[in-house]
Amino acid sequence: MPRRLSGALSALAIWLLLGALDGQAQQPPSASPAGPPVGGPAAVARACPTIRDYATFYKCALERIKVFKTTRRTRDGRPDLNGIWSATRIAQDIEDVKAGQYGAGGAMKSLIVDPVDGRIPYQDWARQPRKDGETRWVSPTALCLPVGAVRWAYSPVSVTGHRIIQQPREIIFSMERLHTYRVISLDATRRLAPHIPLWQGESRGRWDGETLVIETTNLTDKVWFDHIGTFMSNEIRMEERLSFVDQDTLLYVATYTDPKVFTQPWKIAKPLLRAPAKGMDALDLEDTTVEGCDETIEHLFGAGQRPFTGLELVLPK
* Of the candidates 140, 91, 141, 84, the residue with the CA atom closest to the CA atom of residue 285: 84
DSSP state of 131: H
Residue 31, pLDDT score: 34
In degrees, rounded to 5, the angle at the alpha carbon of residue 273 between the alpha carbons of residues 272 and 278 is 140
Residue 5, pLDDT score: 41
- How far is Cα 140 from Cα 122, in angstroms, rounded to an integer? 20
Residue 287, pLDDT score: 59
Question: Is pLDDT of 123 > 50?
Answer: yes
pLDDT of 254-266, one tens digit each? 999 999 999 999 9
- How far is Cα 84 from Cα 226, in angstroms, rounded to an integer? 22
Domain count, the chain: 1
- How far is Cα 186 from Cα 167, in angstroms, rounded to an integer? 9
- How far is Cα 110 from Cα 62, in angstroms, rounded to an integer? 18
Question: How far is the CA of 21 from the CAs of 92, 144, 158, 163, 317, in angstroms?
Answer: 18, 24, 8, 14, 46
Which of 41-45, 66-70, 237-241, 258-262 shows the lowest mean pLDDT across its residues?
41-45
Tell me which amino acid residue 12 is.
L
Give just the sign of the alpha carbon dihedral 72, 151, 144, 291. positive
pLDDT of 195-231, one tens digit each? 899 999 999 999 999 999 999 999 999 999 998 999 9
Task: Assess contact for 64 and 53: CB atoms under 8 A.
Answer: no
Range of the domain at 20: 3-313
Task: Assess contact for 236 and 251: CB atoms under 8 A.
Answer: no
Label residue 182 exposed, middle or buried (CB < 10 Å: 0-12, 13-18, 19+).
buried
